[in-house]
């Protein structure tokens, strides 16, 4: 079947922030073979290309001057292992749907990652995480297509160089591979992870199920986070900043109520970006067509008619206010892309 490459496409349906933008060309692919065909198509060999899943972590600052590839590679499979189960997900699988499927199948370990927007293929790039659990902790492997050769290969979790919201796919392998599938190793010896924030209220419950943990997390997330179908957003706009022990102790002395969490073995501490933004007086702040969400200051939203310029102005104001008050630098978690797919933050490319 010939690829259906469309030209001059609106990108509003393909990213959750819903800002007005277009792509010179767009195609949806459903197999690794179609993906390979796209990359070797003569008419598009030399144009910029960008692979999207659900577009839940992407903002287009300018019209995209190339080919957008929508990854629709599906598939959910499980096989038993000595101590649990190995789950394979196609890169185009909706992440939350896969989490709920795993729970329905009696597979435990993904419940803390419920209701995270995006696809399975995006999960390792960002090393998604929530409520004390990261993708890295359950990853067995990541299957990729090498763009230059067109060959597929498997990376073990140890090859992926996972860090906080980071991986080899944002560094050494950026623009060199496309993720086509992921493998998750989940243990039969399940223990709920309840040390993080709102989950502590569940610690006293006896015979707590993974499904109950997921339900609680979904309730908390829905209370705090806007549905992008109703109010355009890309979830957490900024990363939680990691600071040295000295910086943390100085801030803690000035702000005893400041939440923080250990990050790594070197004494570094992770601060709550949403709390910093809230304390800077910006929760609910509105700038033309965009704003800081009224319930969760970490989320920037599009009220329906926002523009990329307005969003960047708002994000810059937020980062500047936090820097001025706390001396802490905020870095976007959201991808802010120019017309060739390069990431920009303000006027500076990252």
Tokens coding 146: 């090498």
Which residues share a beta bridge with 153?
144
Residues of the chain with CATH 3.90.78.10: 238-331
Q: How far apart are CA 162 and CA 243, in angstroms?
A: 19
pLDDT tier at 50, thresholds 50, 70, 90:
very high
Tens digits of per-residue pLDDT, 212-263?
999 999 999 898 889 998 999 999 999 999 999 999 999 999 999 999 988 8
Enumerate the β-bridge partners of residue 233.
301
- The answer on pLDDT for 346 being more than 70 is no
**Would you state the pLDDT for residue 309?**
94
Residues 216-254 as b or e (16 or more Cβ within 10 Å = b): bbbebbeeebbebeebbbbbbbbbbbbbeeebbeebeee
CA geometry: angle 270, 271, 276, nearest 5 deg: 165
Higher pLDDT, 343 or 1: 343
> Which residues are catalytically annotated?
165, 236, 333
Residue with tokens 């998750």: 184
pLDDT band at 349 (very low <50, low <70, confident <90, very high): very low
> Phi first, then psi: what are they for 288, rounded to 5°?
55, -120
> For residue range 275-332, what is the model confidence (pLDDT) as tens digits?
999 999 999 999 999 999 999 999 999 998 899 999 999 999 999 999 999 999 999 9
What stretch(es) of the chain map to CATH 3.30.43.10? 6-71
Tokens standing for 176? 């060199």
Who has greater pLDDT, 307 or 189?
307
d(CA 261, CA 195): 11
Q: Express each pLDDT in 129-157 by its tens digit.
A: 999 899 999 999 999 999 999 999 999 99
Dist. CA 112–CA 198, nearest whole Å: 11
Q: Is 148 left (phi over 0), alpha (psi -120 to 50) or beta?
A: alpha
Q: Report the pLDDT value the prediction gives residue 225, as an integer from 0 to 100.
A: 86
> To which H or E segment does residue 76 belong?
strand 76-80
Q: What is the pLDDT of residue 207?
A: 75
Fold exhibited by the domain 6-71: 3.30.43
Looking up tokens 């080919």 gives 67
Output DSSP code: residue 241: P
Torsion sign (Cα): 119, 240, 176, 14: positive
Secondary-structure class of domain 76-221 per CATH:
alpha beta
CA distances from 126 to 23, 123, 160, 332, 345 (A): 24, 6, 11, 12, 17
Whether 348 shows a pLDDT value over 60: the answer reads no
Give SS3 for 299. Answer: strand
What percent of the chain has pLDDT above 70? 98
- Tokens representing 95 are 């992440």
Architecture of the domain made up of 238-331:
Alpha-Beta Complex (3.90)
* Separation between Cα atoms, residue 18 and residue 15, nearest integer Å: 6
pTM given for the model: 0.89
Closest CA to 175 of 15, 5, 337, 334: 337
Phi, psi of 314 (to 5 degrees): -65, -50
Q: Which of 203, 180, 192 is nearest to 103 (CA)?
A: 192
For residue 86, give the DSSP letter: E
Q: Taking 70 as the threshold, does the pLDDT of residue 1 lie above it?
A: no
pLDDT band for position 198 (cuts 50, 70, 90): confident
- Cβ distance 315 to 297 under 8 Å? no
Query: 89-129 pLDDT, tens per residue?
Result: 999 999 999 999 999 999 999 999 999 999 999 999 999 99
- Partnered with residue 242 across adjacent β-strands are 270
Q: Are strands 49-52 and 6-10 parallel, antiparallel or unpaired?
A: unpaired
* pLDDT for 350: 38
């Amino acid at each position: 079947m010939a690829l259906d490459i469309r030209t001059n496409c609106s990108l509003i349906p393909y990213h959750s922030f819903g800002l007005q933008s277009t792509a010179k060309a767009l195609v949806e692919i459903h197999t690794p073979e179609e993906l390979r065909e796209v990359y070797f198509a003569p008419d598009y060999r030399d144009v910029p290309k960008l692979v999207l899943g659900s577009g839940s972590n992407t903002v287009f600052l300018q019209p995209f001057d190339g080919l957008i590839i929508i990854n629709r590679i599906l598939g959910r499979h499980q096989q038993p292992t000595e101590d649990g189960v190995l789950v394979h997900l196609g890169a185009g699988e909706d992440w939350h749907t896969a989490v709920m499927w795993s729970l329905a199948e009696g597979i435990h370990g993904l419940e803390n990652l419920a209701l995270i927007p995006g696809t399975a293929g995006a999960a390792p790039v960002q090393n998604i995480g929530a409520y004390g659990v990261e993708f890295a902790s359950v990853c067995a492997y990541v299957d990729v297509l090498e763009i230059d050769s067109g060959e597929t290969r498997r990376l073990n979790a140890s090859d992926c160089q996972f860090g906080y919201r980071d991986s080899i796919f944002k560094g050494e392998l950026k623009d060199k591979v496309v993720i086509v599938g992921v493998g998750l190793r989940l243990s039969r010896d399940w223990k709920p992870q309840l040390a993080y924030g709102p989950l502590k209220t569940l610690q006293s419950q006896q015979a707590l199920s993974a499904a109950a943990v997921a339900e609680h997390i979904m309730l908390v997330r829905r209370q705090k986070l806007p549905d992008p179908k109703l109010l355009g957003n890309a979830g957490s706009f900024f990363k939680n900043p990691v600071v040295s022990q000295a910086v943390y102790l100085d801030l803690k002395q000035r702000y005893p109520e400041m939440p923080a969490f250990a990050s790594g073995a070197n004494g570094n501490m992770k601060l709550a970006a949403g709390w910093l933004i809230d304390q800077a007086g910006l929760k609910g702040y509105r700038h033309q067509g965009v704003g800081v969400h009224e319930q969760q200051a970490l989320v920037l939203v599009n009220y329906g008619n926002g523009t990329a310029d307005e969003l960047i102005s708002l994000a810059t104001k937020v980062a500047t206010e936090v820097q001025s008050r706390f001396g802490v630098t905020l870095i976007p978690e959201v991808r802010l892309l120019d017309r060739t797919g390069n990431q920009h933050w303000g006027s500076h490319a990252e």
